[in-house]
Amino acid sequence: MRSLRTTWSGPALLRLVTFAVKTSPVLMLLVLLSAALPKAFAQDRDRDRDSRFGDWNNPLVYPVENSGAHFRAPKFPSFAQLPIIRPLPDPFQSFDRDGGRDTDFTSWERRRNDIKAAVEKYETGVKPDCHDCTITANYVPAVSATTNGTLTVNVTRNGNTLTLTSGVSIPQGMGSGPFPALIPMEIQFCFTFGTPPKSFCFGPPAQPDYGSLPSSVFTGLPVATVGYVATQVTAYNFSSPSDHTKDPFYQLYPEYCEGICTGTSNQGEYAAWSWGVSRLIDGMEIASHQAVNPLPIDMKHLAVTGCSFAGKMALYAGAFDERIALTIAQENGGGGAPSWRVSHDIEPQGTVEDVDDTNYDWFSQQLQQFAGDNVYKLPFDQHELMAMVAPRALLETGNASQYWLSNGSNLVSAEATKRIYKTLGIGDRFGFFIDGSHAHCSTNAIENAPLTAFIDKFMLGQAGVDTDVEVTPTPANAGSPITVSGGSYAYDFATMNYKRWTDWWGTDNPVFPDNWNTGGTVVASLDNYASFWNFFDFDDRPWIQTGNTVEAGYELMQGGNHPKSTVSLVSGGKITADIACPGDISYTLNVPLPAQSYTIAAGDNTWQPSSDPNSPLVYQGSTPATPPSGTAACVGGRAIHTYFSATGLSVGGDGNPGGPGFLSSDVTDPLNLRFHVLDSTNGQKAAYDSTITVNFTPLTSADATNVNPIPAP
pLDDT tens for each residue of 222-233: 999 999 999 999
Q: Give 240's contacts (C-beta < 8 A, 6+ positions apart).
A: 259, 359, 360, 361, 362
Cβ contact 641:677 at 8 Å: no
Checking if the pLDDT of 676 tops 70, the result is yes
Query: Is the domain of 203 the same as that of 329?
Result: yes
Checking if the pLDDT of 4 tops 80, the result is no
Query: Is the domain of 478 the same as that of 567?
Result: no
The CATH number of whichever domain residue 202 belongs to comes to: 3.40.50.1820
Q: How far apart are CA 428 and CA 421, in angstroms?
A: 8
**Which domain range does residue 211 map to?**
79-488
- Whole-prediction pTM: 0.90
Q: What is the pLDDT of residues 57-67, one digit of tens each?
A: 899 999 999 99
Overall average pLDDT of the 43-50 stretch? 43
Query: Is the domain of 576 the same as that of 665?
Result: yes
Query: Is the domain of 358 the same as that of 420?
Result: yes
Cβ contact 103:45 at 8 Å: yes
Query: Is the domain of 540 the same as that of 473?
Result: no
214 is a domain residue = yes
Checking if the pLDDT of 23 tops 90, the result is no
Query: Is the domain of 468 the same as that of 520?
Result: no
What secondary structure letter does DSSP report for 628?
P
Query: Is the domain of 539 the same as that of 461?
Result: no
Checking if the pLDDT of 15 tops 60, the result is no
Cβ contact 117:69 at 8 Å: no
pLDDT for 8 equals 36
Overall average pLDDT of the 447-453 stretch? 96
Overall average pLDDT of the 502-524 stretch? 94
Q: How far apart are CA 79 and CA 367, in angstroms?
A: 11
Query: Is the domain of 393 the same as that of 434?
Result: yes
DSSP helix/strand/coil, 640: strand
Cβ contact 515:524 at 8 Å: yes
Cβ contact 666:711 at 8 Å: no
Cβ contact 412:498 at 8 Å: yes
pLDDT for 656 equals 81
Nearest Cα residue to 132 out of 252, 266, 269: 252
DSSP helix/strand/coil, 24: coil
Cβ contact 441:307 at 8 Å: yes
Write down the mean pLDDT value for the chain. 87
pLDDT for 188 equals 86
Q: Give 489's contacts (C-beta < 8 A, 6+ positions apart).
A: 400, 403, 408, 482, 519, 657, 698, 701
Query: Is the domain of 200 the same as that of 96?
Result: yes
Query: Is the domain of 445 the same as that of 355?
Result: yes
Range in 251-260, 284-293, 478-487 with the lowest mean pLDDT: 478-487
Pairing of strands 662-664, 565-569: antiparallel
176-189 as b/e: b if 16+ CB within 10 A: ebbbbbbbbbbbbe
418 is a domain residue = yes
Cβ contact 137:93 at 8 Å: no
19 is a domain residue = no
376 is a domain residue = yes
Cβ contact 122:367 at 8 Å: yes
Q: Given pLDDT bands bounded at 50, 70 and 90, which one contains residue 704?
A: low
What letter represents residue 363's amino acid? F
340 is a domain residue = yes
5 is a domain residue = no
| Number of independent structural domains in the chain | 2
621 is a domain residue = yes
Q: H helices then E strands: how many in the chain?
A: 13, 29
Residue predicted with more confidence, 50 or 46: 50
Overall average pLDDT of the 677-686 stretch? 68
What letter represents residue 329's amino acid? A
Q: What is the torsional sign of CA 555, 559, 561, 565? A: negative
Helix (H) or strand (E) holding 693: strand 692-693
Checking if the pLDDT of 394 tops 90, the result is yes
Query: Is the domain of 533 the same as that of 482?
Result: no
Beta-ladder partners of 297: 179
238 is a domain residue = yes
pLDDT for 534 equals 39
What secondary structure letter does DSSP report for 147?
S
- What is the Cβ-side half-sphere exposure of residue 501, based on CA atoms within 13 angstroms? 32
Highest mean pLDDT among 51-65, 407-421, 635-649, 687-701: 407-421
Helix (H) or strand (E) holding 588: strand 585-592
Query: Is the domain of 531 the same as that of 478?
Result: no
Find the radius of gyration of the CA atoms of the chain.
Answer: 27
